[in-house]
């Protein structure tokens, strides 16, 4: 009897890793951020025939990737959804400028905002930049999407966007690997320089974009999956309206899961047949395929995560339901959300409050770590009567009660520029990673325009919110921009307090030993002297008084010890901050402190 081979299942991110290897990708750039950090770590942890490195800024990561592409190397860029905002400048220009070897950007969206400042939908950048956008549904489609993305990138000489979400990261499935690609790959074609910008744009729409539209209509990643309920043979349900579902990305997997259970449910809601159009390539939309799908269905529910990207483009038909009609929530879509939408599909418009996900969860907010070296600083900042701009690092977690340390926080690296707009001198609290990401530009502008701002750089030497990647030291760069730069080391300050506390403790123990010796002496005197009771009584009282004084001194010193501990390392720093606030111009204080979660890292 032959032994059955064990079928290996891969997560969506593992499938993307394999697809990159099989596509002959030789250069990977990335910026840490949820949820793509774990994907980049696969490339960093496993050695291969490629070079992978972290960057601190998405625009720089894409620009470096473009340099790799024009030289004939297939390249991969990994960013989270908000990183798309920064790299959009070179991205949009590269489309009509053209590139060389295949270049794919994987954007990690975060429906539910589990580790992000918003629920931005990266698919919109496909429309803005006019590039292909893949939105895979499973590990196997993720593998096939990335393989095809590199081919399409080279056929159209444009970057391609592949959107992933946290659901794809966690799901597992079989992957059918294809044959490996091999070099050589195309380099940049200088013939494009013979055309003016207007000509480039027109040529793109004449030749290139039609290739993308054809791809969307013909790819097997966009497919209709028919579902027929058990009761379709019943004449009582024949001729009733048909319901269709259009979905994309990981939501397609949820739709398939729900529909596989819903045959009995369908009979109850009078929809014996449900067809499902699953879209794995969402820009350009396969409009012909969607038009045909709409023709055969009286009602169509659009299920997609984050924003109504597909729904917005087809809702003019009047038979489309989804986020805009209140049937599904914005952001993350879960199985119970789809079940709710199907139960209420007969209703034309639903109030937002009626959707199952709205206000359904009141999860505890993630705050600052209990042992964070900067907790005393946040507590002190909350007592100041001055506006404070935070950043999208750890400091953003100090904004809510009970700390309430910072007033506003808009984007990674924004604190300095925001604080420069305050009506009077305020404080910018920014991490060293955010400073390297884009905050340094705000500081440069502040110095050039003569802003009044106190910048507190929390230098823990790691990107603590994204996995502990190491951060470059920019103190010398900052000193070249502005002369008023100081360094305060919280860890050294803490060591001094610990040493002082130990000294007091040792002195207390020494006094306790002396007290014990005196007590022994009192007992000895009491035993030897049986006469002169009055004299003895006086002597004993004097000794007792001495003991009491020594005890009080020890207790006072213990109180001092506790008082020093309660100050939590900030007396000198608090005075320094107040003094710098009183001065005009720019002041920068680097506040060094080890991250208790990530004490070290390697900057690739």
Instruction: Report yes or no on 563 lying in a domain.
Output: no
Domain final residue pick, 218, 251, 268:
218
Tens digit of pLDDT for each residue in 512-522? Answer: 565 566 556 64
Q: Judge if 311 and 199 occupy the same domain.
A: no
User: Of 292, 322, 344, which residue sits at a domain end?
Assistant: 344
d(CA 98, CA 157): 5
Last residue in a domain, options 218, 253, 284: 218
Asked if residue 64 and residue 138 are part of one domain, the reply reads yes
361-402 residue pLDDT tens: 555 666 778 888 888 889 899 999 999 999 887 877 788 888
295 lies in which domain range? 222-228+241-344
Distances (CA, A) of 244 to 293, 374, 504, 511: 8, 54, 76, 85
Contact 446, 427 (CB under 8 A): no
Residue 452 lies in a domain: yes
Find out whether 160 and 43 touch, Cβ atoms under 8 Å: no
Could you tell me if 258 and 123 lie in one domain?
A: no
pLDDT digit string (tens) for 19-51?
Answer: 999 999 999 999 999 999 999 999 999 888 999
Say yes or no: 285 and 147 in one domain.
Answer: no
The answer to whether residues 258 and 163 belong to one domain is no
CATH number at 304 reads 3.40.50.11610
Q: Is 346 helix (H, G, I), strand (E, B) or coil?
A: coil
Helix ranges (H only) for 368-489 are 375-381, 415-420, 432-434, 440-449, 475-481
> 384 and 298 in one domain?
no
Are residue 209 and residue 66 in the same domain, yes or no? yes
Lowest mean per-residue pLDDT among 109-113, 469-473, 552-556: 552-556
Same-domain check for residues 21 and 76: yes
Asked, for residue 296, whether it belongs to a domain, the answer is yes
Report how far residue 73's alpha carbon sits from residue 183's, in angstroms, rounded to the nearest whole number: 8
pLDDT tens for 158-167 read: 999 999 998 9
In whole angstroms, what is the distance from residue 365 CA to residue 368 CA?
10
Together in a domain, 481 and 410? yes
pLDDT digits (tens, 9 = 90+) for 410-460: 988 999 999 999 999 999 999 999 999 999 999 999 999 999 999 999 998
- Location of structure tokens 């207390």: 508
306 and 444 together in one domain: no
Q: Provide the domain count of the chain.
A: 3
Q: Where does the pLDDT of residue 497 fall: very low under 50, low under 70, confident under 90, or very high at 90 and above?
A: very low
Q: Is the dihedral of CA 592, 596, 600, 603 positive or negative?
A: negative
Residue 89 lies in a domain: yes
- Which of the two residues, 231 and 408, has the higher pLDDT score? 408
CATH number, domain containing residue 200: 3.40.50.970
Q: Would 200 be classed as within a structural domain?
A: yes
Residue 174 belongs to some domain of the structure: yes
Helices (H) and strands (E) in the chain, counts: 22, 21
**Is the model's pLDDT at 322 over the cut of 80?**
yes
Inside any domain, residue 159? yes
380 and 328 within one domain: no
Asked if residue 550 belongs to a domain, the reply is: no
| Lowest-confidence segment of 194-198, 526-530, 587-591 by average pLDDT | 526-530
Asked whether residue 41 falls in the same domain as residue 172, the answer is yes
Please answer whether residues 60 and 66 qualify as being in contact, where contact means their C-beta atoms are separated by less than 8 angstroms.
no
């Amino acid at each position: 009897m032959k032994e059955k081979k064990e079928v290996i299942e891969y997560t969506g991110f593992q499938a993307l890793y394999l697809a990159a290897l099989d596509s002959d990708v030789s250069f990977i750039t990335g910026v840490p951020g949820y949820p793509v950090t774990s994907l980049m770590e696969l490339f960093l942890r496993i050695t291969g025939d490629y070079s992978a490195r972290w960057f601190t800024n998405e625009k720089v990561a894409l620009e470096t990737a473009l340099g790799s592409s024009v030289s004939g190397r297939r390249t991969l860029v990994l960013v989270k959804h908000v990183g798309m905002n920064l790299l959009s400048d070179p991205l949009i220009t590269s489309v009509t400028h053209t590139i060389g070897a295949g270049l794919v950007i994987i954007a990690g969206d975060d429906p539910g905002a589990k580790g992000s400042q918003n629920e931005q939908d990266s698919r919109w950048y496909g429309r803005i930049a006019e590039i292909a956008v893949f939105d895979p549904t499973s590990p196997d489609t993720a593998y096939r999407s990335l393989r095809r993305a590199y081919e399409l990138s080279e056929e159209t000489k444009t970057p391609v966007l592949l959107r992933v979400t946290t659901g794809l990261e966690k799901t597992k499935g079989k992957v059918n690997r294809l044959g490996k690609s091999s070099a050589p790959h195309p380099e940049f074609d200088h013939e494009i320089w013979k055309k003016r910008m207007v000509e480039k744009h027109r040529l793109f729409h004449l030749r290139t974009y039609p290739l993308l539209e054809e791809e969307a209509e013909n790819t097997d990643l966009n497919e209709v999956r028919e579902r027929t309920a058990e009761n379709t043979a019943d004449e009582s349900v024949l001729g009733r309206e048909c319901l269709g579902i259009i979905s994309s990305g990981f939501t397609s997997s949820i739709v398939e899961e729900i529909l596989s259970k819903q045959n009995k449910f369908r009979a109850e809601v009078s929809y014996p047949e449900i067809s499902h159009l699953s879209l794995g390539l969402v820009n350009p939309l396969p409009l012909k395929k969607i038009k045909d799908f709409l023709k055969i269905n009286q009602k169509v529910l659009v299920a997609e995560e984050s924003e109504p990207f597909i729904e917005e483009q087809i809702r003019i038909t009047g038979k489309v339901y989804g986020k805009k009609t209140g049937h599904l929530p914005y952001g993350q879509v879960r199985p119970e959300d789809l079940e709710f939408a199907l139960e209420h599909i007969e209703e034309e418009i639903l109030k937002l409050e009626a959707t199952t996900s709205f206000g359904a969860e009141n999860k505890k907010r993630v705050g600052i770590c209990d042992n964070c070296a900067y907790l005393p600083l946040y507590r002190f900042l909350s007592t100041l009567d001055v506006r404070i701009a935070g950043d999208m690092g750890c400091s953003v977690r100090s904004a809510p009660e009970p700390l309430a340390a910072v007033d506003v926080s808009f984007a990674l690296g924004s604190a300095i520029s925001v604080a420069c707009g305050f009506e009077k001198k305020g404080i910018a609290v920014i991490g060293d990673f955010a400073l390297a990401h884009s905050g340094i530009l705000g500081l440069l502008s502040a110095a050039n325009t003569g802003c009044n701002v106190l910048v507190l750089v929390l230098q823990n030497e790691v990107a603590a919110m994204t996995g502990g990647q190491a951060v470059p030291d920019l103190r010398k760069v900052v000193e070249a921009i502005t002369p008023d730069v100081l360094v305060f080391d919280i860890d050294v300050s803490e060591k001094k307090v610990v040493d002082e506390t130990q000294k007091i403790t040792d002195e207390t123990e020494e006094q306790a030993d002396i007290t014990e010796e005196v007590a022994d002496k009192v007992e000895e005197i009491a035993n030897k002297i049986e006469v002169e009771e009055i004299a003895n009584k006086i002597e004993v009282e004097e000794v007792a008084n001495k003991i009491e004084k020594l005890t009080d001194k020890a207790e006072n010193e213990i109180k001092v010890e506790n008082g020093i501990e309660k100050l939590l390392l900030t007396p000198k720093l608090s005075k320094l901050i107040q003094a710098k606030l009183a001065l005009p111009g720019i002041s920068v204080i680097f506040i060094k402190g080890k991250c208790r979660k990530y004490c070290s890292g390697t900057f690739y």
